[in-house]
A and B are shown apart, each in its own frame.
Chain A
Amino acid sequence: MLAYLLRRLLYAIPILIGVNLLTFALFFVVNTPDDMARLQLGAKHVTPEAIGRWKVEHGYDKPLLLNSAAEGSAQFTDTIFFQHSAAMFAFEFGKGDDGRDIGNEIKKRMGPSLAIALPVFVIGLLVNITFALLMVFFRATYLDLWGVVGCVVLMSISGLFYIIAGQYFIASLWKLLPISGFSGGIDGLPFILLPVLVSVVAGIGGGARWYRTIFIEEIGKDYVRTARSKGLSEVRVLFRHVLKNGMIPILTGAVVVIPTLFMGSLITESFFGIPGLGSYTIDAIQAQDFAVVRAMVFLGSVLYIVGLILTDLSYSWVDPRVRLQ
């Protein structure tokens, strides 16, 4: 078990190096720092001096990979690659264009992101499973048929529509909840309700239908027939057997997203004014703050890989047949 975990962690390193090289290539080789400076300072009428100044301010005035002017190991360390890309492995993200330390911002903003993402994840999972079980219970009836059609209709609505309609009707027209904003502690509850509600409703269509397929697949298996032939009631079959076994693919599919919950949701956070990592990222994209985008890419892939490892562990936890070696 421990050996397996160690091997998986070691396997994560080449992947992170790959992510790092890819972002480095995207941000510094395809686009030179000169291009970035020109974009930031306005494309036309930029003097070379202004570009030079911008590069010094952001620490981009060094050679990309090899600094032949320096001595000894500084040949490698005093480069853009080492200081801006390799440093990420130590979670040194540097400063954003607004001069604030990116690492500090991430720490500060993780809380608000989780305050939205975690309830959405848990409530969403419960609601979707409930709807899926209901449809499976009434399978091959009109209730099931229209349930599936309803799911497809819900899936076909743009996520933006849920947010805009939710804000307009619930917050703006009926004034039930604040339209946006955030505050820590228990005072923050009214601010959280609306984004959570909207996100859960937006996820029902896809989620419930997907889980229904899993349960339907499960219900055709031999052990279910055995359970029925024992004379168990349909409710008991559904809850004791089908739900338990169906949870294996559902849980393992859900576990992979748990770490990425820290990243928050770009759209929800930005619409509801939540000061989390999602709105941080979207602001950075819109302000073309490459340092922040790069940091978020790296953080996101680290969390994704953690999720993959957790998925493997959860497999062996929920399904005793799976042994990790």
Chain B
Amino acid sequence: MNIQPVILWTDALIFALLVGVLVLAWGISRHEHLRAPWGVVARRPMAMGAALVLSVFVVIGLLDSLHYREKLAGSQADKPHYSVEVLSAFDALVGTLRTQHEKTYSAPLAMQLYAKEFVEHDGVTRREYPRLQFGGAHLDDAASRMPDITRRSAVGLAQGLALSLLLFGVLAGWQAHRTQVSLGEWLARWGEGRLGWPGRTVVGVLTLLLLLAGVLVHLATAYHVFGTDKVGQDVLYISLKSIRTGLVIGTLTTLVTLPLAISLGIAAGYFRGWVDDVIQYVYTVLNSIPGVLLIAAAVLIVQVYIESNPDLFDNAAARADVRLLALCLIMGMTSWTGLARLLRGEALKLSTLDYVDAARAFGVSHTRIISRHIFPNVFHLVLIAIVLDFSGLVLAEAVLSYVGVGVDPSMHSWGNMINGARLELAREPAVWWQLGAAFAFMFTLVLAANLFADGVRDAFDPRMGSRR
């Protein structure tokens, strides 16, 4: 065995979540009335396009959650030693992107360093922009850079286009066979948007993604597409690594607090009386503390705990990971109140309905009434809350990192990228690419999430139906 798998806390939770989602999806697909609203989502072009973009992020995030440690080259077979550095399947996939370090800043697609240095040429020392070690290293002179970039982009575009055409062909053939129409007829329906699902949008977004991937792959092998940061790391690599952090914060935060919000919210609305009073008191107290301050206070405390118990964590990655998980827990603790209040109101309404009264009259137990009659009827609220919270949480991470209570400084995250680079705009010429890349990635993820959330909300919220 040349590698030793490492399962961090968040990895375990992410894959538990994945299994949960798959089981849920399987359950939903077997019931017509549960499947129907998802069918509405699937017919909305914006939602489906957004879902495709989201799934790219999710795949990268999942690959980045398969962690392992490499065996050190010099260690014996019977007593292997493993590197302290924790890598992931994603690192293995991108290969040299991780290891090709420059000295310091370099602009996107540059072949020279950002800052001048003393360089020796045949015994003469001159002050000039030194060549990069990896970025554009295969070029002879600066004049051949632009043609090379154009050529590589063109090849990437062509390959992306070819791949998407191939996929489209396969899709068309399969769909035509499935719906038992001729290929020409299916293409005509696709072109007119009469498929019953947003075929044009899906194919369009897929083509765009493949074109982008083609260009990126061809350029990233020879250049730093988004430049390099202060210590010379590839910005594209860091941005891609940050995806996992964003996804973890967006999903686990809601996940860890769902049990709390659901049980307390429904209990308050269903049992009323003193139970309601106590639960309302608890969430008014939590609500009245300004969110950022509560998060800051709790994170400072976790920090103290981690620093005073260094022996609990065997490597830096585990420490950063526990801090990330703590951040999710803390953010969740401050944000469950909104959902709980919503569920309380709904449960209050539902528990006065006739069928609940009937169930009570038959002597059905409270747990059974709640699980059979109340919970299924508030589930759409839970789902809407999950998708709506996601984008807000991703954005909050950047703000919290700026305040200094975000994820561990050693962890790749968009917040840390922005925080590290925001003062560099004042340099001349401005170092903009790190900020630009972080904001662009964050924007894409959040926009896709928002559009998808809109689709889900419109399909599941009964109040929305009358407005369309």
Which B residues touch A304, using CB under 8 A?
Answer: 287-290
Kindly provide the distance from the CB of A29 to the nearest chain B CB, expressed in whole angstroms.
10
CB of B384 within 8 Å of the partner chain: no
CB of A141 within 8 Å of the partner chain: no
Q: What is the CA–CA distance of A267 and B403 in the complex, to the nearest angstrom?
A: 8
When the two chains form their complex, are residues B297 and A157 in contact, meaning their CB atoms are under 8 A apart? no
Chain B, 180-221, CB within 8 A of any chain A CB: none
Total number of A residues with any Cβ neighbor in B under 8 Å? 49
Kindly provide the distance from the CB of A238 to the nearest chain B CB, expressed in whole angstroms.
17
Which A residues touch B466, using CB under 8 A?
Answer: 220
CB of B418 within 8 Å of the partner chain: yes
Chain B 364-396 interface 0/1 with A at a Cβ cutoff of 8 Å (1 = within): 000000000000000000000000000100010
Q: What is the CA–CA distance of A153 and B411 in the complex, to the nearest angstrom?
A: 28
CB of B154 within 8 Å of the partner chain: no
When the two chains form their complex, are residues A266 and B439 in contact, meaning their CB atoms are under 8 A apart? no
CB of B300 within 8 Å of the partner chain: yes
Of A19, A38, A290, which is within 8 A of B288 by CB?
A19
When the two chains form their complex, are residues A160 and B402 in contact, meaning their CB atoms are under 8 A apart? yes
Chain A, 284-299, CB within 8 A of any chain B CB: 285-286, 288, 290, 293-294, 296-297
CB of A14 within 8 Å of the partner chain: yes
CB of A31 within 8 Å of the partner chain: yes
A161-B439, A285-B300 known; A305+B395 contact, CB < 8 A: no
CB of A186 within 8 Å of the partner chain: no
CB of A113 within 8 Å of the partner chain: no
Residue among B304, B442, B454 having the largest count of chain A Cβ atoms under 10 Å: B304
CB of A255 within 8 Å of the partner chain: no
CB of A168 within 8 Å of the partner chain: yes
Which A residues touch B399, using CB under 8 A?
Answer: 158-160, 267
Which A residues touch B115, using CB under 8 A?
Answer: none
Chain B 408-432 interface 0/1 with A at a Cβ cutoff of 8 Å (1 = within): 0000000000100010011000100
Chain A 11-38 interface 0/1 with B at a Cβ cutoff of 8 Å (1 = within): 0001100110011001100110001101
CB of B327 within 8 Å of the partner chain: no
Which B residues touch A296, using CB under 8 A?
Answer: 290, 293
Which A residues touch B303, using CB under 8 A?
Answer: 39
CB of A281 within 8 Å of the partner chain: yes
When the two chains form their complex, are residues A300 and B290 in contact, meaning their CB atoms are under 8 A apart? yes
CB of A2 within 8 Å of the partner chain: no
| Residue of B whose beta carbon sits closest to that of A294 | B297
Q: What is the CA–CA distance of A35 and B309 in the complex, to the nearest angstrom?
A: 11
When the two chains form their complex, are residues A297 and B293 in contact, meaning their CB atoms are under 8 A apart? yes
CB of A260 within 8 Å of the partner chain: yes
Which B residues touch A290, using CB under 8 A?
Answer: 300
Of A15, A30, A155, A293, which is within 8 A of B284 by CB?
A15
A160-B402, A285-B404, A300-B289 known; A168+B430 contact, CB < 8 A: yes
Kindly provide the distance from the CB of A27 to the nearest chain B CB, expressed in whole angstroms.
7
| Residue of B whose beta carbon sits closest to that of A307 | B288
A26-B297, A288-B300 known; A267+B402 contact, CB < 8 A: yes
Kindly provide the distance from the CB of B424 to the nearest chain A CB, expressed in whole angstroms.
11
When the two chains form their complex, are residues A158 and B289 in contact, meaning their CB atoms are under 8 A apart? no
When the two chains form their complex, are residues A14 and B447 in contact, meaning their CB atoms are under 8 A apart? no
| Residue of B whose beta carbon sits closest to that of A35 | B304
When the two chains form their complex, are residues B442 and A152 in contact, meaning their CB atoms are under 8 A apart? no
Which A residues touch B282, using CB under 8 A?
Answer: 18
Q: What is the CA–CA distance of A158 and B417 in the complex, to the nearest angstrom?
A: 13
When the two chains form their complex, are residues A301 and B289 in contact, meaning their CB atoms are under 8 A apart? yes
Which A residues touch B418, using CB under 8 A?
Answer: 158, 160, 164
Kindly provide the distance from the CB of A153 to the nearest chain B CB, expressed in whole angstroms.
6
Kindly provide the distance from the CB of B278 to the nearest chain A CB, expressed in whole angstroms.
11
When the two chains form their complex, are residues B450 and A18 in contact, meaning their CB atoms are under 8 A apart? no
Chain A 153-174 interface 0/1 with B at a Cβ cutoff of 8 Å (1 = within): 1011111110010001000100
CB of A216 within 8 Å of the partner chain: yes
When the two chains form their complex, are residues A23 and B285 in contact, meaning their CB atoms are under 8 A apart? no
When the two chains form their complex, are residues B402 and A297 in contact, meaning their CB atoms are under 8 A apart? no
When the two chains form their complex, are residues A23 and B297 in contact, meaning their CB atoms are under 8 A apart? yes
CB of B435 within 8 Å of the partner chain: yes
Chain A, 154-207, CB within 8 A of any chain B CB: 155-161, 164, 168, 172
When the two chains form their complex, are residues B289 and A297 in contact, meaning their CB atoms are under 8 A apart? yes
CB of A243 within 8 Å of the partner chain: no
Of A19, A156, A285, A300, which is within 8 A of B446 by CB?
A156
CB of B63 within 8 Å of the partner chain: no
CB of B398 within 8 Å of the partner chain: yes
When the two chains form their complex, are residues B443 and A156 in contact, meaning their CB atoms are under 8 A apart? yes
CB of A102 within 8 Å of the partner chain: no
When the two chains form their complex, are residues A14 and B288 in contact, meaning their CB atoms are under 8 A apart? no
The 5 closest A-B pairs by CB, nearest first: A18-B285, A300-B290, A301-B288, A156-B447, A156-B446
14 contacts between A and B (CB under 8 A): A23-B297, A26-B298, A39-B303, A43-B307, A156-B447, A158-B399, A158-B442, A172-B425, A216-B467, A217-B463, A285-B405, A293-B293, A296-B290, A297-B290
Q: Using CB atoms and an 8 Å cutoff, list the residues of chain B in contact with chain A.
A: 281-282, 284-290, 292-294, 296-298, 300-301, 303-305, 307-308, 391, 395, 398-399, 402-405, 418, 422, 425-426, 430, 435, 439, 442-443, 446-447, 450-451, 454, 463, 466-467
Q: A26-B298, A156-B450, A296-B290 provided; 17 other pairs, C-beta below 8 A?
A: A18-B281, A22-B286, A23-B289, A27-B297, A155-B391, A158-B418, A160-B399, A161-B443, A168-B425, A216-B467, A281-B293, A286-B403, A293-B293, A297-B289, A301-B289, A301-B290, A304-B287
